[in-house]
């Protein structure tokens, strides 16, 4: 039994950063902005969180600063694409490259230092409960935030007026503008939110997952988060499913290898990506559903006419 | 995209430094290094850069060094290598396997510059040398320690890619372990990357959950060491001393020490005695060293030291018969030593590895 609990905990750890970053990006894309800089914002969060925890000794402060760093970095993207109307795809790619380089420079003095781990929750009695104790009451704070975030985002997007406004901006920015909605402001806020989420995802990597800082430690997770948003056809619940599916396959294939199941290792390591592609294909078959959920103004720049 | 930009930035950086080098009229010997990763990876590239620093410390004013990080392992590498050659470098060390062809091409165009390619085998021009280290010697020592320290009798091995270099390490490890406990088992997990800390951590967790209580790795980050520390098992560091990441966890680490070789070769250039060669040094030259033996009883440390010493003085070699392959056929008869060709192209497991080798 302990083995299974341990496996499930590994899956949670592997899925949490993907879930956080993908949920943030989902809100951004719902507002009609395509920010390909997730990887860059994530790694900025990772370095900022790690550095803060090292200097102050407080990993929670580190997570907070990581969110700030992610948001601040996304502000650069927002300014370029929303105010200066630069191409979103190119700017997003540039943001990723800049983030990887800049984080390496900022983090140079922190390489090779063991990090400070954000400890898992330990509530007397509750955490010691058999089976569910460790799963429900014994994980790190960021895990709980990630789960709460998905439900929070769902509630916001589909149950509140502000959420409706955000979706309308994403679906048809001209009409939204005509109705008196400040399109640029809504998009700024969405991009900042996405940046903060990516920053927190980075903090999870450098404070919980592997408490250390090394250049390039996000190793492409930002791109997977981006794929998950499409995979989920812009629905928060499906992001949750997608992130955990990816996490499960990632962890599961290592166990399959360790048990010695006679499947080529190369195939097993590519399984998470194959699973993503298969689901993408299945989703794409249902055109109506895809059309219904895709923000119609996604990736299009908006210039308010006076 | 990313890689192109890196290469562009890299060439630009070289152009800038080129002017400076020519200004002093080649009075100094210039040694240049091409790296696959960042110098702060705390593994492979970090150790090469330590070698570069040792060259600076040894020769002081007589040398000048330069390096480029994150140079991709593709045809892109051609430009920075040639830019180095044009900028007045007298000797250029290219420190990853797939720099092989770009290095040889650059060597053809710049016959006056000496080229040193790590872990490769092509020497198409008289100004190209190749060099590598027998890291597997350290693996044997680790295997012996693992067999002594393990309670479950199973160790876990986080492996990168099924190339001979990695397979050699796995085989050497299990041979060492079996010399202590003939029934010792080894579980191998392939992660298909040299460097991805979270993935390496996942693999470590999976192996521990499957019952291994000793971890070793052929990947570049310290993530597995941290997981081992968290779970309270023992582990071996890789390429560099990782004791800081597991003060109560690391048993020892294989340290790649390139400094002796780099100093020797730069000195040869200064003295004008540089000649083409192909070297595969091991513990005997100090290019493979072991970190202090920690977190183990004295008798285990003594055994490890004795083995290390016997490998260093040449009285013992890990790949000595009798050795049986995984499929049950005899590879080496009693007392027979492995020939260099089989060693360099090793593509099979020996008995006791609980894994199927990916092809």
Structural domain boundaries of chain B?
Answer: 2-133, 136-255+288-354
pTM recorded for the entire structure: 0.84
Looking at the complex, does the CB of residue B195 fall below 8 Å from at least one CB of chain A? yes
| CATH fold for the domain made of B136-255+288-354 | Rossmann fold (3.40.50)
Mean pLDDT, chain A, whole residue set = 91
What pLDDT, on the 0 to 100 scale, is given for residue B21? 40
Q: Is the pLDDT of residue A97 over 50?
A: yes
Interface contact flag, B187 A209, Cβ < 8 Å: no
Tell me whether A122 touches chain B (CB under 8 Å): no
Q: How many residues does chain A have?
A: 306
Q: Over the stretch A31-88, which tens digit does the pLDDT of each residue have?
A: 999 999 999 999 999 999 999 999 999 999 999 999 999 999 999 999 999 999 999 9
Interchain contact A3–B (C-beta under 8 A): yes
Q: Which helix (H) or strand (E) holds A92?
A: helix A88-106
**Could you give the 3-state DSSP secondary structure of residue A125?**
coil
Residues 6+ apart with CB under 8 A from B38: A104, A214, A215, A216, B45, B69, B70
Alpha helices (H) in chain B, listed in sequence order? 2-23, 44-59, 78-86, 100-109, 136-149, 164-180, 197-209, 223-231, 259-271, 298-312, 340-344
Helix (H) or strand (E) holding A204: helix A183-204
DSSP letter, residue B336:
P
Distances (CA, A) of A130 to A127, A162, B208: 8, 42, 21
Inter-chain Cβ pairs, chain A and chain B, closer than 8 A? 127
Q: Does B245 touch chain A (CB under 8 A)?
A: yes
Q: How confident is the model at residue A1 (pLDDT cuts 50, 70, 90)?
A: low
What does the block give as tokens for A161? 């007026």
Q: ipTM of this predicted complex?
A: 0.86
Of B197, B227, B244, the CB nearest to A217: B197
Task: Evaluate whether B2-133 and B136-255+288-354 have a shared fold.
Answer: yes
Rounded-to-integer distance, Cα B101 and Cα B74, Å: 9
φ, ψ (nearest 5 deg) of residue B151: -95, -30
Give me the pLDDT at residue A306, please.
54
Is the Cβ pair B205, A260 closer than 8 Å? no
3-class secondary structure, B157 = strand
Answer CATH for A2-293 from 1.20.120, 2.60.40, 1.10.3470, 3.40.50: 1.10.3470
pLDDT-derived band at B3 (thresholds 50, 70, 90) equals very low
CB atoms within 10 A of CB B236: 31
B184 part of contact set with chain A, CB < 8 Å: no
Kindly state the DSSP code that residue B64 receives in the 8-state scheme.
Answer: E
Could you say which architecture CATH assigns to the domain B2-133?
Answer: 3-Layer(aba) Sandwich (3.40)
**Domain map of chain A by residue range?**
2-293
Question: Residue A101: is its pLDDT beyond 60?
Answer: yes
DSSP one-letter code for B320: B
Shortest distance between the Cα of A252 and any Cα of chain B, in A, equals: 8
Closest approach of A134 to chain B, Cα-based (Å): 15
Are A258 and B189 inside 8 Å of each other by CB? yes
Interface check for A264 against chain B (CB to CB < 8 A): the answer is: yes
């Amino acid at each position: 039994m302990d083995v299974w609990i341990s496996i499930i905990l590994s899956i949670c750890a592997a899925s949490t950063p993907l879930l956080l970053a993908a949920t943030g990006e989902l809100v951004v894309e719902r507002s009609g902005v395509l920010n390909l800089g997730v990887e860059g914002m994530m790694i900025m969060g990772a370095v900022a969180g790690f550095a803060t925890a090292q200097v102050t000794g407080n990993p929670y402060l580190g997570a907070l600063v990581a969110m700030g760093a992610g948001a601040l970095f996304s502000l650069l993207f927002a300014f370029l694409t929303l105010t200066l109307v630069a191409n979103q795809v190119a700017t997003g790619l540039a943001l990723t490259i800049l983030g990887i380089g800049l984080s390496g420079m900022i983090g140079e003095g922190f390489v090779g230092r063991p990090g400070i781990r954000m400890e898992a929750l330990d509530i007397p009695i509750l955490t010691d409960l058999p089976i569910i104790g460790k799963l429900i009451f014994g994980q790190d704070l960021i895990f709980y935030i990630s789960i709460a975030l998905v439900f929070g985002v769902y509630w916001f997007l589909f149950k509140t007026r502000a959420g409706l406004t955000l979706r309308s901006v994403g679906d048809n920015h001209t009409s939204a503008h005509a109705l008196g909605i400040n399109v640029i402001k809504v998009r700024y806020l969405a991009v900042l939110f996405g940046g903060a989420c990516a920053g927190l995802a980075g903090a999870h990597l450098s404070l919980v997952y592997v408490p250390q800082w090394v250049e390039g430690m996000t190793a492409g997770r930002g791109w997977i988060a981006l794929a998950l948003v499409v995979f989920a056809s812009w629905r928060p619940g499906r992001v949750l499913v997608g992130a955990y599916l990816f996490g499960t396959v990632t962890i599961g294939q290592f166990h399959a290898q360790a048990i010695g199941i006679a499947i080529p290792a190369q195939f097993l390591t590519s399984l998470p990506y194959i699973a993503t592609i298969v689901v993408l294909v299945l989703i794409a078959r249902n055109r109506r559903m895809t059309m219904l959920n895709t923000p119609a103004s996604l990736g299009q720049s908006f210039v308010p006419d006076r | 995209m990313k890689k192109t930009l890196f290469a562009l930035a890299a060439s630009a950086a070289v152009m800038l430094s080129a002017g400076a080098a020519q200004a002093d009229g080649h009075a100094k010997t210039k040694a240049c290094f091409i790296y696959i990763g960042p110098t702060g990876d705390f593994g492979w590239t970090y150790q090469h850069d330590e070698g570069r620093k040792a060259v600076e410390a040894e020769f002081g004013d007589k040398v000048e060094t330069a390096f480029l990080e994150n140079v991709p392992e593709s045809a892109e590498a051609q430009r920075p290598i040639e830019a180095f050659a044009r900028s007045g470098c007298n000797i250029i060390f290219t420190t990853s396997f797939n720099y092989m062809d770009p290095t040889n091409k650059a060597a053809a165009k710049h016959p006056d510059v000496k080229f040193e390619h790590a872990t490769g085998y092509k020497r198409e021009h008289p100004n190209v040398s190749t060099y590598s280290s027998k890291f597997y010697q350290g693996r044997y020592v680790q295997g012996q320690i693992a067999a002594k320290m393990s309670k479950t009798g199973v160790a876990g091995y986080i492996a990168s890619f099924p190339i001979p270099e990695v397979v050699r390490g796995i085989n050497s490890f299990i041979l060492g372990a079996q010399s202590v406990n003939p029934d010792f088992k080894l579980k191998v997990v392939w992660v298909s990357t040299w460097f991805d800390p979270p993935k390496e951590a996942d693999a470590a967790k999976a192996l521990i959950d499957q019952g291994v209580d000793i971890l070793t790795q052929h990947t570049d980050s310290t993530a597995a060491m941290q997981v081992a520390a968290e779970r309270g098992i023992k582990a071996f560091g890789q390429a560099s001393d990782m004791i800081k990441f597991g003060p109560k966890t690391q048993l020892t680490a294989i340290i790649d020490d390139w400094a002796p070789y780099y100093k020797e070769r730069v000195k040869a250039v200064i003295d004008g005695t540089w000649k083409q060669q192909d070297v595969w040094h091991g513990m005997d030259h100090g290019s493979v060293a072991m970190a202090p033996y920690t977190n183990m009883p004295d008798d285990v440390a003594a055994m490890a030291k004795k083995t290390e010493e016997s490998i260093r003085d040449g009285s013992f070699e890990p790949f000595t018969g009798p050795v049986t392959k995984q499929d049950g056929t005899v590879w080496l008869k009693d007392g027979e030593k492995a020939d260099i060709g089989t060693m360099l192209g090793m593509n099979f497991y020996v008995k006791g590895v609980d894994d199927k080798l990916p092809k």
